[in-house]
Chain A
Amino acid sequence: MDGCNSQNERIAQLFREMFDVLYVYAKNALGDHSLAEDATQETFCIACAKSDECLQSDNPKGWLMKTLKNVVRNTKRQRAKLSMLAVISLNSDESELLATYDEISVDALYGDEAKKEDFQIFKLIAIEKHSMKDAAEAFGISIEACKKRVQRIKKHLKKKLSRE
């Protein structure tokens, strides 16, 4: 497991012991299976990145839960911000075009096919409330690529809206 080196075994052990417990919290906090899986997995990514801090704490399981709670909080905030941008976009002067982009080409709005697909990913996550993993799988791309494409379209939309 890249990035975790010598502490792999302990992290792996914690993963096996704690995944379902953390998932239970995330599922209740976020109300969705896929989002809960995203949050639980991200918690272990952070544990790998900060393995010293996690494993040397008095209470590694408590450390994981505290981290998960922060991940949940961040997830809620960031997704709410994204949804707000989507709502503002749909309320913009070009809302009709945005709202019906499936029926008529969005090229007029976004210029090229890449942006069209970016917008579809953005819509999947911001409006249809899919998790990052689900959206990435739907488009056959990695989670990292999915995130970058959402960042790109978000930047584009913000720039576009600021010009209106």
Chain B
Amino acid sequence: MSGLDSGNSKDYSKYDGMSTESLEELLRLDAELPDGEGPDIDEILYISEVIAKREKEHPTGRYPEIDVDAAWENFQTKYLPYMTDGRSLYDFDDEEPSHTEEENAGTDNPSPTSRKRISLRGRRHLKRVVSIAAVIAVLLGLMTATAYAMGYDLWGVIAQWTKDTFTFVSVSKANEPSEPGEGDTIGDGEYADLQAALDAYGITEQLAPNWIPNGFTVGKVVVNDNSSPDYVVFNTCYRNDAKSIMVQIKMHQNQENTSFTTWQKDDMDVDTVIIADCTFYTMQNAGRECAVWINGPFECTINGNISSEELLKIIESIFN
């Protein structure tokens, strides 16, 4: 299928045989992941095309019938005129118009304006980052011996956050700009739950939660193990109607070339919770509660539209 015009020769036909519900789950999962952590763009396009084609042939009612002529009319009369203000439709900030994230779509480099903004923010938050790094250095001393057994030098990793992002950083790379990975692909494999996937990879560390709030059911477990020799990513998503809880475990396999994820966060402080000698950093992103932690070579996160109390119970359950 597909009118992909990228010259991409990858074979995505495996998606032709998947159920529409599974394909939709993949799209929802992709939307929850940070930039560069999901399938590649052509893969997402292919999946979306498969669903759109099926919907045309056998409407399910989950999508309204798209009248492209009416949509084009709306585009010309209702949407296109607004672009004169040069800002995103949902950008309600008070500052003067500037380059927004989506204006940089299709390019890999931040605009000069955004560089300037980062620089200003950087100065404002430098004190905070330095003091946080000092505290984290002490906290890291409490982490498990497992990491050392696997050859990971946890003293060489610090947590850093600014107003908008959170990431772990190798000390040796602390001053380099982060470059999130690109072009990941989804590996094959069906697992009943996250623990089953971890078991299949011989992982014995306690990483998967054993408790999820009532009403949530486990969705597809996606293991991304063929896009980079440097890491394997395990993803799963629990759903309860419109609510979701996402769990991601990234197993780094190359200490020399560790690429930590940069997580978006809301403009509020990061809290820490220590459970079983493991430090969990908790914050919010887009109104969702998030926890991020490192256990040896495993970089892990849980986020969801749940309460902070529920998040705490989930991370406590990892060690139960």
Contact = CB atoms under 8 A, between A and B. Distances in A.
Contacts of B27: 24-25, 28-29
A50 to B, nearest CB: 7
Interface stretch (A59-67, A89-97, A105-113): A59-67
A147 interface: yes
Interface string B86-115: 101111111000001111111100000000
A150 B88 CA distance: 13
19 contacts: A16-B72, A19-B68, A28-B27, A33-B64, A37-B74, A38-B90, A42-B102, A43-B102, A60-B5, A61-B45, A62-B42, A63-B106, A67-B102, A78-B90, A80-B288, A143-B78, A144-B84, A144-B85, A154-B94
Contact of B6 (A25, A61, A74, A133): A61
Given A1-B76, A58-B6, 17 more contacts: A19-B66, A25-B27, A37-B71, A45-B89, A50-B103, A54-B106, A59-B6, A59-B42, A60-B5, A62-B4, A62-B42, A62-B45, A69-B35, A72-B31, A74-B90, A77-B286, A80-B288
A59 B193 CA distance: 36
A66 B41 contact: yes
The 7 closest A-B pairs by CB, nearest first: A29-B31, A59-B6, A67-B105, A80-B287, A78-B90, A80-B286, A28-B27
A147 B3 contact: no
Interface of B: 3-8, 24, 27-28, 30-31, 35, 41-42, 44-45, 48-49, 51-52, 55-56, 63-64, 66, 68, 71-72, 74-76, 78-86, 88-94, 100-107, 242, 264, 266, 286-288
A24 B63 contact: yes
Contacts of A40: 71
Contact of B75 (A15, A61, A78, A144): A15
B164 to A, nearest CB: 9
Nearest to B305: A80
A88 to B, nearest CB: 12
A114 interface: no
Contact of B106 (A12, A31, A57): A57
Given A24-B48, A25-B27, A151-B94, A66 B105 contact: yes
B48 A22 contact: yes
A127 to B, nearest CB: 13
A70 B107 CA distance: 12
B107 A53 contact: yes
A19 B41 CA distance: 16
Interface in A128-157: 132-133, 136, 142-144, 147, 150-151, 154-155
B79 A45 contact: yes
Nearest to A122: B92
A44 interface: yes
Contacts of B3: 17, 61
B320 to A, nearest CB: 31
A10 B317 CA distance: 54
B287 A83 contact: yes
A99 interface: no
B106 A53 contact: yes
A61 B5 contact: yes
B163 to A, nearest CB: 12
A143 B79 contact: yes
Contacts of B89: 38, 42, 45, 71, 75, 132, 143, 147
Given A49-B103, A73-B101, A24 B79 contact: no
A67 B106 contact: yes
A1 B80 contact: yes
Contacts of A59: 4-8, 41-42
B90 A84 contact: no
Contacts of B92: 78, 81-82, 147, 150-151, 154
Contacts of A119: none
A46 interface: yes
A20 interface: yes
A113 to B, nearest CB: 21
B82 A61 contact: no
Contacts of A82: 90, 92
A6 B68 CA distance: 22
A29 B35 CA distance: 14
A104 B83 CA distance: 37
B82 A147 contact: yes
Contacts of A53: 106-107
